[in-house]
Amino acid sequence: MLKKITVIISDARHPINSWVEGWVGERPEGQVAEIVRTSAQAKGGDICFLISCTEILPIEFMQRYTHVLVIHASDLPKGRGWSPHIWAIIQGQEEVTVTLLEASEKVDCGDIWHKSTHQIPKYFLYSDIIEVVNQAHVDLIDYAVEHHATVDPLPQDLHIAPTYLPKRTPVDSEISAYESIASQFDLLRVCDNNRFPSFFHLHGKKFKITIESSDE
């Protein structure tokens, strides 16, 4: 049984934290798991998971663990970079693939352990989308813990041209006051009402929008 597991999540506000905290709290006797914010806090062990980790880690760090694994919400090699599941939905996709892969010197380029694909209905809002993606993260953590001794990692497909996604910023949540809600719904529904709410400008003012579903 694995004895020491570390999970690096850079942002304490990221929604994945509560999901991983629940997983950490369910560890069996004799297995210790912890969440840290930086690589400096990660002291070594059996497996280190990088989830929404903003650091680029050197080879010296990799040597502290038997395995250093990344969980990335895209069908690699497509969607390397930032917030790939959000960009995918904005582009009209109706499913999200989450990939478990080995950390490497080049970001999101390591060998792949496992993938899972999940449907994202057109009516799902941010909280629904995050629930699906976060559960997929936890399931892949479980997969790695269960199969670490027998997994046969596969290199990323060289016949597929990789794509690269930029980091989203608050300005990416802006919608147009002059276009329809229907035409901008994918952009609206991926905005986090608390951290990155959507907004528009009109009459020289900025207006914030929050969105929630209602069956009434």
Q: What is the pLDDT of residues 124-154, one digit of tens each?
A: 999 999 999 999 999 999 999 999 999 999 9
Calculate what percentage of the chain has a pLDDT beyond 70. Answer: 100
**Whether pLDDT at 36 is above 80:** yes
Architecture of domain 4-165: 3-Layer(aba) Sandwich (3.40)
Sequence-distant (≥ 6) Cβ neighbours of residue 112 within 8 angstroms:
76, 99, 100, 101, 102, 153, 154, 155, 156
**Least confident span in 19-23, 45-49, 56-60:** 56-60
**Whether pLDDT at 215 is above 80:** no
Report the pLDDT value the prediction gives residue 1, as an integer from 0 to 100.
83
Sequence-distant (≥ 6) Cβ neighbours of residue 63 within 8 angstroms:
none
Report the pLDDT value the prediction gives residue 195, as an integer from 0 to 100.
87
Mean pLDDT of the chain: 96
Q: Please, where in the chain does CATH 3.40.50.170 lie?
A: 4-165
What is the rounded average pLDDT of the residues 178-192? 96
Report the pLDDT value the prediction gives residue 216, as an integer from 0 to 100.
58
**Whether pLDDT at 64 is above 90:** yes
